[in-house]
Chains A and B, each alone.
Chain A
Amino acid sequence: MRIVYLVEIVIGNKPQAKDPEGETIMKDLMHKSGYDCVKEVRTGKLLTVQIEANSEEEAREKVFAMCNDLRIFNPVAHSCKIEIRGKT
């Protein structure tokens, strides 16, 4: 039976690429407000995808292939994490 899976794609900057938005959030918001305990903030982009597949494994593979095929992330600068969050 075809199932619709809920998949999250998280795109972030690679560690070598500076993340000025994350730095600003940490230094100018968190640290200035007393949250010195925060040591790093990295920002990213979240895509929530509903995809039809026969299994969790197939849903993950399809999303992975699509992200690479369509350059949903730029492999030079970005990392990409794919997580299955459930079924609809």
Chain B
Amino acid sequence: MKVAVIQFPGSNCDLDTLHVLRDVVKVNADLIWHKNFKDPNYDAAILPGGFSYGDHLRAGIIAAYSPAMTPIKEMAKQNKPILGICNGFQILVESSLLPGALLRNSGLKFVCKWTRLRVETEHSAFTGLYQKGENIRMPIAHNEGRYFIDEETLKDIRRNNRVIFRYVSENPNGAIDDIAGICNEDRNVVGLMPHPERASENILGSEDGRKMFESMLKWLN
């Protein structure tokens, strides 16, 4: 089993993600420069956080046209787990693998803090080991995290239980319906603004995020 972590120019959570995969959940993982990622034969792929292409034009849009997205889309079709964390979520949205848009935070500031989240469904490639309704802690660090979607599609993703995480007690960025993470129809492509890789070891203040990576292994087994 092998997981690919895709590195774009401006990714900065790539090494943290790689560390959690290799050293914490103990799975084979490769860090791959986006232009060199051509092989869809990996079992899963993670698009890490950061500021790909300096967030120019719109966070995630330029990376959405990277050659890496062709094998990523192929893997998504094959029902393999694809996770987009923060900037990775923005890339998944801009490449239409997930619906919606991530707009500038309503407070107009970069927000870097711990958040409380509610797990809304255990039915996805990255939440199988959580309990529905479980409250967890993960940090966020973003400027464009205000999830937005038109009313019709919002109704549709609610009806199909595609909201994966919601912010509880405080909505840090003005996201519609307190949405922090969603999945695609087939539930194998997941995107979220919080950083599970920064909450996978007790020494960092929480290990609530680790179960996302362990859930991925469960989905694959």
* Residue ranges of A at the interface with B (Cβ–Cβ < 8 Å): 13, 16-18, 20-21, 24, 45, 70-72, 74, 76-78
Main secondary structure, interface of B, reads loop
B103–A77 CB distance below 8 A:
yes
**CB-CB < 8 A to B40: which residues of A?**
none
B104–A20 CB distance below 8 A:
yes
A77 to B150, CA, bound (A): 8
| Known A20-B108, A21-B108, A71-B64; 17 more pairs at CB < 8 Å | A13-B103, A16-B151, A18-B106, A18-B174, A20-B107, A24-B108, A70-B65, A72-B57, A74-B61, A74-B101, A76-B99, A76-B150, A76-B153, A77-B100, A77-B101, A77-B148, A78-B101
A20–B150 CB distance below 8 A:
no
A18 to B153, CA, bound (A): 17
A76–B148 CB distance below 8 A:
yes
Q: Which B-chain residue is minimally distant from A14 (CB atoms)?
A: B150
A26 to B149, CA, bound (A): 25
**CB-CB < 8 A to A16: which residues of B?**
150-151
**CB-CB < 8 A to B100: which residues of A?**
76-77
Size of the B side of the interface (Cβ < 8 Å), in residues, is 22
* Residue ranges of B at the interface with A (Cβ–Cβ < 8 Å): 57-58, 61, 64-65, 93-94, 99-101, 103-108, 148-151, 153, 174
**CB-CB < 8 A to B101: which residues of A?**
17, 74, 76-78
**CB-CB < 8 A to B65: which residues of A?**
70
Q: Distance (Å) between the CB of A73 and the closest chain B CB?
A: 8
B104–A74 CB distance below 8 A:
no
List 19 A-B pairs, Cβ < 8 Å.
A16-B150, A18-B174, A20-B104, A20-B105, A20-B106, A20-B108, A21-B104, A21-B108, A24-B108, A45-B57, A71-B94, A72-B57, A74-B58, A74-B94, A76-B101, A76-B148, A76-B150, A77-B103, A78-B101
